[in-house]
């Protein structure tokens, strides 16, 4: 049985202070707030992105990573879909001033069904242990749980990440919190997440 989802935490405010300099912002329906009724992006990305599977060493075994991925530098290379650069511009208009640098990359993950997932982690590879950063995640397709927990233990959050919703993790969030997309036994369709990050963050 899955615990109750805590999306109600954001009914009064888009941004929630997580403590120790970390914050999380939720923008429901952000994809459609530029006045575009276009709802075809999920299918276009699913069919056009050069998806690849990964395998990773886990203890004494090499296992398939339970999702497909694709990573793109949107500044130094052509984007596999023109909307990725348009979305990057929108995010930079909204957040680059606060971040102090632009978003430059888009990492995409395709969760094919409820068996696909990503384990607890923070997107701080390539940054110092004391450096703050920002990661913006756009959800497309099926609704999935987006979970967060403090590093070292503490109460966790479980949010419904719906089609078109934007989640932005800022401040010390990548250093002091971890996030995950857990597996689910409930029937669910495919989901694509797009993670926009500044230079040197993975």
Q: Which CATH architecture has domain 15-198?
A: Sandwich (2.60)
Integer Cα distance of 61 and 54 in angstroms: 14
- Using 70 as the pLDDT threshold, list the residues of the chain that sit under it: 1-13, 36-38, 57-59, 125
Residues 6+ apart with CB under 8 A from 123: 133, 135, 174, 195, 197, 201, 202
Residue 74 confidence (pLDDT): 96
Q: What is the pLDDT of residues 81-95, one digit of tens each?
A: 999 999 999 999 999
Residue 64 confidence (pLDDT): 82
Residue 70 confidence (pLDDT): 97
Q: Bin 173: left if φ > 0, else alpha if -120 < ψ < 50, else beta.
A: alpha
Q: How far is CA 11 from CA 121, 137, 147, 163, in A?
A: 26, 19, 18, 17
Residue 60 confidence (pLDDT): 75
Query: How do strand 68-73 and strand 22-27 relate by DSSP bridges?
Result: unpaired
Residue 14 confidence (pLDDT): 85
Residue 78 confidence (pLDDT): 92
Count of C-beta atoms within a 10 Å radius of residue 134: 25
Residues 6+ apart with CB under 8 A from 43: none
Q: What is the pLDDT of residues 32-74, one digit of tens each?
A: 987 766 679 999 999 999 999 987 766 677 778 899 999 999 9
Integer Cα distance of 165 and 181 in angstroms: 15
């Amino acid at each position: 049985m899955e615990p109750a989802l805590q999306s109600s935490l954001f009914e009064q405010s888009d941004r929630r202070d997580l403590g120790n300099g970390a914050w999380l912002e939720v923008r429901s329906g952000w994809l459609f707030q530029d006045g575009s009724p276009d709802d075809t992006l999920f299918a276009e990305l699913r069919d056009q992105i050069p998806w690849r599977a990964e395998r990773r060493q886990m203890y004494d075994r090499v296992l398939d990573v339970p999702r497909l991925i694709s990573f793109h530098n949107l500044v130094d290379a052509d984007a596999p879909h023109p909307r990725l650069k348009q979305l990057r511009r929108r995010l930079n208009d909204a957040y680059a001033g606060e971040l102090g640098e632009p978003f430059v990359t888009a990492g995409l993950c395709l969760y094919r069904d409820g068996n696909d997932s990503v384990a607890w982690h923070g997107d701080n590879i390539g940054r110092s242990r004391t450096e703050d950063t920002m990661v913006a995640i756009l959800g497309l397709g099926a609704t999935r749980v987006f979970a967060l927990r403090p590093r070292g233990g503490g109460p966790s959050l479980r949010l419904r990440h719906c089609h078109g919703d934007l989640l932005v993790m800022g401040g010390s969030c990548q250093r002091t919190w971890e996030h995950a997309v857990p597996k689910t036994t409930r029937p669910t369709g495919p989901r694509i997440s797009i993670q926009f990050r500044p230079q040197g963050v993975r």
